[in-house]
Amino acid sequence: MTETSRPAAHPLEFTASHRELLDQVLDKWSVHILDELCERPARFNELRRAIPAVTQKSLTATLRRLERNGIVERSVVRSRPVAVEYRISPLGKTLRAPIDALLEWIATHGADVDRARGRFDDEAEHDLGRLGR
Amino acid sequence: MTETSRPAAHPLEFTASHRELLDQVLDKWSVHILDELCERPARFNELRRAIPAVTQKSLTATLRRLERNGIVERSVVRSRPVAVEYRISPLGKTLRAPIDALLEWIATHGADVDRARGRFDDEAEHDLGRLGR
DNA sequence: CGGGATCCCAAGCGATACTG
DNA sequence: CAGTATCGCTTGGGATCCCG
Whether CB of A29 is under 7 Å from strand C: the answer is yes
* Average confidence (pLDDT) over A85-113: 97
Task: Supply the pLDDT for residue B10.
Answer: 56
Task: Tell whether A11 lies on the interface with B, counting CB pairs under 8 A.
Answer: yes
The pair phi, psi for residue A63, each rounded to 5°, is -60, -45
Per-residue pLDDT of chain B (133 residues; tens, 9 = 90+): 444 444 444 556 889 999 999 999 999 999 999 999 999 999 999 999 999 999 999 999 999 999 999 999 999 998 888 999 999 999 999 999 999 999 999 999 999 999 999 999 998 877 766 655 5
Whether CB of B55 is under 7 Å from strand C: the answer is no
Instruction: List all nucleotides in chain D with at least one atom under 7 A from a protein Cβ.
Output: 1-6, 12-17, 20
Whether CB of A43 is under 7 Å from strand D: the answer is yes
The residue that leads in pLDDT, B2 or A91, is: A91
Return the HEC string of chain A. Answer: CCCCCCCCCCCCCCCHHHHHHHHHHCCCCHHHHHHHHHHCCEEHHHHHHHCCCCCHHHHHHHHHHHHHCCCEEEEEECCCCCEEEEEECHHHHCCHHHHHHHHHHHHHHHHHHHHHHHHHHHHHHHHHHHCCC
Whether CB of A58 is under 7 Å from strand C: the answer is yes
Q: How many CB atoms lie within 10 A of CB A102?
A: 24
Task: Tell whether A115 lies on the interface with B, counting CB pairs under 8 A.
Answer: yes
For residue B70, list chain A residues with Cβ-Cβ distance below 8 A: 112-113, 115-117, 119-120
Task: Supply the pLDDT for residue B13.
Answer: 81
**In the complex, which nucleotide's C1' lies nearest to the CA atom of residue B74?**
C2
How many angstroms separate the CA of A58 from the C1' of C20? 21
CA distance A132 to chain B (A): 22
Which residue from B22, B97, B112 is facing A26, i.e. has the nearest CB?
B22
Task: Supply the pLDDT for residue A92.
Answer: 98
